[in-house]
């Protein structure tokens, strides 16, 4: 299978091979690094394309997926993408850049054929992001390597996201998943490069 395509698979059978539903797949702008599905659309972060960091794929017909739109947020490789429950906002992190280009971006994805970046984005100040997620309270969690490896960003003002907390993990963080319990306690589960304790929990 080609690295610059998105494929889907039939998982209805729990045994044997898993055939592709769209055998040819759908061509991406370049190699994909992460995919997030909401409703009838798949959102794919794109690696190493100076003009495209996000592709949007219409998957409503599983046997004929179609790329319907793309977004340009900076001149870097996108590492991860997270999409809100309504599919109207995509949150993208790219390789480490500069204060001018920045690494965290919010995309207005209401118009799937013409997704548009909102504002200048957020500079992670030396961290090269690996993952992003958005949690209740209009907070984005960005994890990565270098700089401050775990950062919490207030995205209430989409035009001007601001840091509201963070901590260092010098071994680097490669991904995170967060939960908000019914009693209000919040936790982030992270995987790190720590050879003796790769899995860690952060109390929010």
Per residue in 131-165, pLDDT tens? 999 999 999 999 999 999 999 999 999 999 999 99
What's the pLDDT at 176?
95
Predicted TM-score of the model (pTM): 0.94
Average pLDDT estimate for 16-40 = 94
Query: Which parts of the chain fold into alpha helices (H)?
Result: none
H/E stretch holding 69 reads strand 66-71
112: left (phi over 0), alpha (psi -120 to 50) or beta: alpha
H/E stretch holding 151 reads strand 150-154
What's the pLDDT at 42?
98
% residues pLDDT > 70 (the chain): 99
């Amino acid at each position: 299978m080609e690295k610059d395509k998105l494929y889907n698979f039939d998982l209805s059978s729990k045994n044997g091979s898993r055939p592709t539903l769209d055998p040819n797949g759908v061509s991406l702008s370049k190699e994909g690094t992460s995919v997030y599905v909401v409703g009838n659309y798949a959102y794919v972060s794109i690696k190493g394309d100076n003009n495209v960091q996000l592709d949007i794929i219409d998957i409503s017909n599983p046997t004929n997926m179609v790329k319907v739109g793309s977004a340009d947020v900076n001149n870097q490789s996108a590492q991860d993408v997270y999409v809100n429950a309504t599919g109207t906002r995509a949150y993208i992190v790219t390789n480490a850049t500069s204060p001018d280009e920045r690494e965290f971006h919010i995309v207005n994805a209401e118009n799937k054929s013409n997704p548009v970046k909102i504002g200048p984005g957020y500079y992670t100040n030396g961290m090269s992001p690996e993952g992003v997620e958005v949690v209740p309270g209009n907070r984005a969690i960005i994890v990565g390597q270098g700089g401050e490896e775990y950062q919490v960003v207030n995205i209430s003002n989409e035009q001007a996201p601001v840091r509201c907390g963070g901590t260092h993990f010098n071994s680097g963080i490669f991904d995170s998943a967060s939960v908000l319990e019914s009693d209000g306690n919040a936790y982030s589960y992270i995987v790190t490069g720590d050879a003796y304790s790769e899995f860690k929990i952060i109390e929010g």
